[in-house]
Structure 1
Amino acid sequence: MKLTLGYSTETDLVPLKPLLEGKINRDVVLETIKVKEDELKFMFSKFDLIYVPLPLINYIQDIKFLSNAAKVTDRIGLKGKCNDKVCVSSSNSTEYYYLKMFETKLTVSRGSDCECYVSTDEVDEDLTAYWRKKCNDAPIILKLIAVNLDEADIAKIKIAIRESASIMASQNAIPQYSKELGLKGRKGVECFFDVCREVGLCSNNKYSIL
Structure 2
Amino acid sequence: MPTGVAIRDVREQLFEAAERVLLRDGPSALTSRAVTTEAGCAKGVLHRHFADFDAFLAGLVLDRIARIEAGTGALCARAGTGVVADHLTDALTGLFGSVAIAVVGLVTSRDELRARLREARPTGVPVLTDAANAIAAYLVAERSLGRLAPDADVDVLAPTLIGAAHLLFADRTGTPPEPDAVRKVVTTVLAGAVVG
**TM-score (norm: length of structure 2):** 0.28
| Structure with greater helix percent | 2
Q: Say which structure is richer in strand.
A: 1
Pair member with larger Rg: 2
- Give TM-score scaled by structure 1 length: 0.27
Return the structure number with greater relative CO, CA threshold 8 A, min gap 6: 1
